[in-house]
Amino acid sequence: MGNLFKIATRNLLRYKRRTLLTASLIAIGVVFVLVFISVSGSFKNMMIGEITDSMIGHLQVHRKGYVASIETLPLNLNLKAGAVAKLETLLKKQPEIEAYSPRIKFGGMFSNFTETSSIRLTAVYPEKEYRTTPLLPLRVIEGSNELKPGKILIPELLARGMKVKVGDSVVIVATNQDGSVNGKQFIVAGILKSVTGPGGRDGYLHMDDAREILRMEGNEISEFAIRLKDFGKLHGFSEKLEGLLSTELNQQGKPIFELHTWEKLSPFFNIARMIDMMTFFIKLMLIAIVLTSIMNVMIMAVYERIREIGTIAAIGTLPGKILNMFVIEGFCLGIVGALTGAIAGIVIVFILNLSKITFDFGQQKGLILQANVNPMDILLISATVIVVSVIASLQPALKASRMEPIKALRHV
Amino acid sequence: MSLIVAENVSKDYQTGDDLVRALKGLSFEIEPASFVSFVGPSGSGKTTLLNLIGCLDKPTAGKLTVASTDVLHLDRKQSASFRGSNIGFIFQDFNLIPVLTVYENIEYPLLMVQNMPAAERVQQVNALLKAVDMTDQKDKFPDQISGGQKQRVAVARALVTNPKLVLADEPTANLDHKTAYMVIELMRKMRDEFGTTFIFSTHDQKIVGEAEIIFTLEDGELKGKENKGGGGNG
């Protein structure tokens, strides 16, 4: 085998310029794919992290039918005390869960005593919420993230529009479940940076305050946000929890709960899928580049060496060995292209990170591009290039191995 | 026992609508360790006959036995194996592999065809290099040596596997007279040393005289046989 490699390498070096051009083409393809995957993948992961860690959590549990009406934040679809207790007991038993946070979500009117605007509010227990969405406290751009009863965190856009500052008094008025209206005065504890996605422009207040405004007597909850210890196990755990929740039935024998991963709750999931699709097509383009360039080179190589093929076949070289000889040439070209491309790709990603390129996404300004090269991606792309190189050289190699020595020797 | 037995061997080619009869019922025998030449004008069927004997092609009719093997019934793979074990080839254009050195060209059949162990291989190749007087050129590539040297390397490559038979199609056609004689002399020396049968084709009358048995071909027919003291009784 070592001798086949030696002959293949020497044959490649025989046409240095052509080999260099082909290897460069493959390497450029690998660089493009690697840089694209690194940048788009990092952007995707950063956005997913931002959405799950500052708003949604990894999963959410609601009362059955709540998510279908989530735009209206229906208080009548809150989980009742019994269901909340059952759910909390269940969640506490799950070792995969890092933290969970019960929330009440409702709409209300926000007044600074001179102007009034609508506001969406999320009532939380701050310690539980901050453990479930650890980036939320970091979104506080002014004031404090300490959310005591009587304090409120308001979104940046509302604060700017209503000219409200930290420490100002504001009033929240909300309609209760029975249709009556109630209000409460708050002090603005902090101003939250807006982020893209559902809940990205919500205000936050303490759970006790929400119960007071909404005149709730029992422990009613709109949703439970859940954070897992390992985000990679999201789907496995989601299936497991869904199974457990499906056994909890109401008096009519229907399921009490519904479970959604962040993917079903955030429109960014569609963008993430688009990024995945684009990555797939970029990979297909790479395969096409490798396939055509290697096939082209190998067809040329066979054509130029017909007499040589005739000679080695006449001497007694078995067709299988002739096939291997040419396949190994394609394989070597693939390896050189993949290796060079991978190294160049890593260097380019490193330079991109050093450059600290910023970009805007929705309301989020000045996000820093942090491209990461995943070793698995490098391995997968390199392996794809090498396998495609071998496949591309198979046809010319087969042609060489099936050549009649007598015809090949006559070739001029 | 004869090394080659041809009985009524014919070879036809279809060229478009025309049937070309390249060989017409040839019968002959060649004994081991013979030094044989097929002579004849261009188109007389010399190369076709050598191709049949070398298992590179198959007769259309007749029976051809080489080294006790009926070559008519060998498939592609068997033919390749048979050639690798029994036949050495010397070509008019030398046909050395340009990316291999002189040493590696001679070593090639042992390495890639016979898979001989390294120690044995080195010994064999060095012996052949010495026999053809190319030891000091062993690290050169074919484009760094002369035509005569290339043909000496080709002779060594043909002999390195200790074949029963070496076929040389116009081995001296691309060489000057002096070098051509040297190559023929080398082939004879190798025959004497290794007992290998050499069959070569040529149209050079002076070179023909060097053979011990001379078969004359004309229009695909065997027109005569001259025995100058070697083997063969066909």
Question: Taking all residues of chain B, what is their mean pLDDT, rounded to a whole number?
Answer: 89
Q: Is residue A57 part of a domain?
A: no
Model confidence band, residue A320 (pLDDT cutoffs 50, 70, 90):
very high
Q: Which residue in chain B is spatially nearest to A402 when comparing CA positions?
A: B76
pLDDT at B232: 41
Q: Are residues A99 and A125 in the same domain?
A: yes
| Cβ distance of B99 and A14 shorter than 8 Å | yes
Model confidence band, residue A265 (pLDDT cutoffs 50, 70, 90):
confident
A317 close contact with B: CB closer than 8 A? yes
Of the three residues A229, A255, A281, the one that is the final residue of a domain is: A255
Q: Is the pLDDT of residue B206 over 80?
A: no
Q: Which residue in chain A is spatially nearest to B97 when comparing CA positions?
A: A308
pLDDT at B17: 84
Model confidence band, residue A3 (pLDDT cutoffs 50, 70, 90):
confident
**What average pLDDT does range B175-183 have in this prediction?**
82
B33 close contact with A: CB closer than 8 A? no
Q: Are residues A165 and A76 in the same domain?
A: yes
**What average pLDDT does range A141-167 have in this prediction?**
92
Q: Are residues A205 and A353 in the same domain?
A: no
Chain A nearest CA to B104, separation (Å): 10
Q: Distance between CA A357 and CA A334 in Å, rounded?
A: 32
Model confidence band, residue A222 (pLDDT cutoffs 50, 70, 90):
very high
Chain A nearest CA to B88, separation (Å): 7
- Which residues in chain B have their CB less than 8 angstroms from residue A308's CB? 95, 97-98
Chain B nearest CA to A386, separation (Å): 24
B163 close contact with A: CB closer than 8 A? no
Of the candidates A247, A265, A264, the one whose C-alpha atom is nearest the C-alpha of residue A256 is: A247
Per-residue model confidence as pLDDT tens digits over B149-175: 998 899 899 989 989 999 998 888 877
Q: Are residues A156 and A98 in the same domain?
A: yes
Strand intervals (E) in A34-148? 59-63, 97-111, 116-124, 140-143
- Which residues in chain B have their CB less than 8 angstroms from residue A317's CB? 80, 84, 112-113
Q: Are residues A213 and A318 in the same domain?
A: no
Chain B nearest CA to A37, separation (Å): 40
Q: Are residues A96 and A18 in the same domain?
A: no
Of the candidates A295, A280, A278, the one whose C-alpha atom is nearest the C-alpha of residue A388 is: A295
Chain B nearest CA to A304, separation (Å): 12
**What average pLDDT does range B95-118 have in this prediction?**
92
pLDDT at A199: 62
| Cβ distance of A409 and B91 shorter than 8 Å | yes
Which of A14, A315, A321 has its CB closest to that of B89?
A315
User: For the CA atoms of chain B, what is the radius of gyration?
Assistant: 17
**What average pLDDT does range B133-159 have in this prediction?**
92
Q: Which residue in chain B is spatially nearest to A316 when comparing CA positions?
A: B84
Q: Which residue in chain A is spatially nearest to B86 when comparing CA positions?
A: A316
Q: Is the pLDDT of residue B186 over 90?
A: no
Q: Distance between CA A344 and CA B29 in Å, rounded?
A: 67
Total Cβ atoms within 10 A of residue B122: 14
| Cβ distance of B99 and A10 shorter than 8 Å | yes
In chain A, positions 31-50, which contact chain B (CB-CB < 8 Å)? none
Model confidence band, residue A196 (pLDDT cutoffs 50, 70, 90):
low
Q: Is the pLDDT of residue A49 over 90?
A: no
DSSP assignment letter at A138: G
pLDDT at A251: 82
| Cβ distance of B108 and A316 shorter than 8 Å | no
The residues, ordered by sequence, that sit 6+ positions from A174 with a Cβ below 8 Å of its Cβ are: A106, A107, A108, A109, A121, A181, A182, A183, A213, A214
Q: Is residue A102 part of a domain?
A: yes
Which of B57, B81, B91 has its CB closest to that of A311?
B91
Under 8 Å between Cβ of A132 and A124: no
Q: Is residue A56 part of a domain?
A: no
pLDDT at A67: 87
Q: Is the pLDDT of residue A195 over 80?
A: no
Least confident of A196-205, A240-249, B188-197: A196-205
- Which residues in chain B have their CB less than 8 angstroms from residue A316's CB? 80-85, 87, 109, 113
Least confident of A272-276, B79-83, B118-122: A272-276
Q: Which residue in chain A is spatially nearest to B52 when comparing CA positions?
A: A406
Q: Which residue in chain B is spatially nearest to A12 when comparing CA positions?
A: B99
Q: With residue A349 as reference, give the H or E element that holds it.
A: helix A319-355
Per-residue model confidence as pLDDT tens digits over A355-393: 888 877 665 667 777 888 889 989 999 999 999 999 999
| Total residue length of chain B | 234
The residues, ordered by sequence, that sit 6+ positions from B209 with a Cβ below 8 Å of its Cβ are: none
Superfamily of domain B4-227: P-loop containing nucleotide triphosphate hydrolases (3.40.50.300)
Q: Tell me the one-letter amino acid at B47.
A: T
Q: Is the pLDDT of residue A236 over 90?
A: yes
Least confident of A97-106, A117-126, A153-162, A358-367: A358-367
Residue labelled with tokens 């504890």: A189
Q: Which residue in chain B is spatially nearest to A322 when comparing CA positions?
A: B112
Q: Are residues A129 and A6 in the same domain?
A: no
**What average pLDDT does range A199-209 have in this prediction?**
86
| Cβ distance of A11 and B89 shorter than 8 Å | no
| Cβ distance of A314 and B157 shorter than 8 Å | no
Question: Taking all residues of chain A, what is their mean pLDDT, rounded to a whole number?
Answer: 90
Burial of B130 (0-12, 13-18, 19+ CB in 10 A): exposed
Q: Which residue in chain A is spatially nearest to B163 when comparing CA positions?
A: A315
Of the three residues A189, A222, A255, the one that is the final residue of a domain is: A255
| Cβ distance of A315 and B97 shorter than 8 Å | no
pLDDT at A197: 62
**What average pLDDT does range B112-141 have in this prediction?**
91
pLDDT at A210: 94
Least confident of A91-95, A97-101, B226-230: B226-230
Model confidence band, residue A247 (pLDDT cutoffs 50, 70, 90):
confident
Q: Is the pLDDT of residue B133 over 70?
A: yes
Helix (H, G, I), strand (E, B) or coil at A259: strand
Under 8 Å between Cβ of B19 and B220: no
The domain ranges of chain B are 4-227
pLDDT at A411: 80
Q: Are residues A199 and A288 in the same domain?
A: no
Residue A125's domain comprises 65-255
Q: Is residue A228 part of a domain?
A: yes
A319 close contact with B: CB closer than 8 A? yes
pLDDT at A198: 62
From residue B214, how far is each of A378, B37, B209 by CA, in Å?
67, 5, 8
Q: Is the pLDDT of residue B231 over 60?
A: no
pLDDT at A364: 64
Least confident of A155-164, A356-365, B132-141: A356-365
A398 close contact with B: CB closer than 8 A? no
- Which residues in chain A have their CB less than 8 angstroms from residue B84's CB? 315-318
**What average pLDDT does range A37-56 have in this prediction?**
86
pLDDT at B131: 85
Q: Distance between CA A281 and CA A115 in Å, rounded?
A: 51
Q: Are residues A246 and A286 in the same domain?
A: no
| Cβ distance of A307 and B95 shorter than 8 Å | yes
Q: Which residue in chain A is spatially nearest to B83 when comparing CA positions?
A: A316
Of the three residues A214, A232, A255, the one that is the final residue of a domain is: A255
B113 close contact with A: CB closer than 8 A? yes
| Cβ distance of A319 and B76 shorter than 8 Å | yes
Q: Which residue in chain A is spatially nearest to B78 when comparing CA positions?
A: A318
Per-residue model confidence as pLDDT tens digits over B3-53: 999 999 999 988 888 888 899 999 999 999 999 999 988 888 999 999 999
| Total residue length of chain A | 412
- Which residues in chain B have their CB less than 8 angstroms from residue A314's CB? 54, 56, 83, 89
B100 close contact with A: CB closer than 8 A? yes
| Cβ distance of B91 and A316 shorter than 8 Å | no
Q: Is the pLDDT of residue A73 over 80?
A: yes
The residues, ordered by sequence, that sit 6+ positions from B88 with a Cβ below 8 Å of its Cβ are: B109, B157, B158, B159, B160, B161, B163, B165, B166, B167, B196
> How many domains would you assign to chain A?
2
Q: Are residues A102 and A249 in the same domain?
A: yes
Q: Are residues A251 and A106 in the same domain?
A: yes
Q: Is residue A368 part of a domain?
A: yes
- Which residues in chain B have their CB less than 8 angstroms from residue A321's CB? 112
Q: At what angle do helices A375-401 and A16-51 cross, to 10 degrees?
A: 150
Phi, psi dihedral angles at A324 (to 5 degrees): -60, -40
**What average pLDDT does range A201-211 have in this prediction?**
91
Per-residue model confidence as pLDDT tens digits over B60-90: 999 999 999 998 889 988 999 999 999 999 9
A104 close contact with B: CB closer than 8 A? no
Chain A nearest CA to B192, separation (Å): 23
